Amino acid sequence: MMTATPTEMMTIAAARLLTNEDVCFVGIGAPSAACNLARLTHAPKITLIYESGTLSTRPTVLPLSIGDGELCDTALTTVSVPEMFRYWLQGGRITIGFLGGAQIDRFANLNTTVVGPYDAPKVRLPGGGGAPEIAIHCGQIFITMAMGSRAFVETLPFITSFGHGTGKGDRAKLGLKTRGPTKIITDLCVMEPDPETSELTVVSLHPGVTREQVQAGCGWPLRFAAELAETPAASVQELAVLRDLHIRTKHAHGVAA
């Protein structure tokens, strides 16, 4: 019997959320793996868009970056970055934005800028790139992140990408009409913002995971749904397709499988 690793379970759970009708702004890494797994399984007609301007791309291997030639080679067309952001993103034509981050707080705000004080950080992170715009202009946001107390923190040192601010209503106060983060998919569980407060609440535990394990990986006291579900286990097909995708990617990039 094939058993999924925690990272594979995170990718598969995220992929299941996507449909053929989605137009998806894809981030590199875990979001890219999830979106392409969906395309190769249950959502073959999904439209994948990467920040470099590639529209309806169908990569055979996972890209190393948004500038990977694989994206342009397999895209329906490629547009300029200004057109991508102004016409497609700010024009409200993208249904789902897939993001990750170095840190997240209880209201799904993301930090990819610094760890520690901004003027004298302990770690200088890669920065926002297009994520701040993706976070406010896509119809809704899915976030994929592995749990850990250094990643899921009580207070962010810097908010790079706006989630739900300090609670329900903060997006509306800023004039934002999109839904913001609606699903946070981790290697242990799935979270959603509470309808009344927008605070992240665990709604589903992955197979074999306990509440205690999830809480240990979080820097604030977590809320759990009254009717806590169990994420359906990975199917043989999902695992086979995902692992084959990673093997092809390693071979393409000169890494031994």
| Residue 213: half-sphere exposure toward Cβ, Cα within 13 Å | 12
CB 107 within 8 A of CB 200: yes
Count Cβ atoms below 10 Å from residue 118 Cβ, excluding itself. 10
Question: What's the burial of 224, exposed, middle or buried (CB within 10 Å: 0-12/13-18/19+)?
Answer: middle
Of the candidates 8, 51, 70, 238, the residue annotated as catalytic is 51
CA distance 29 to 44: 20
CA distance 213 to 56: 38
Helix (H) or strand (E) holding 183: strand 181-185
Reading the block at residue 248, the tokens are 């092809």
Reading the block at residue 126, the tokens are 């890669």
- Catalytic-residue membership of 51: yes
Active-site residues, by number, are 51
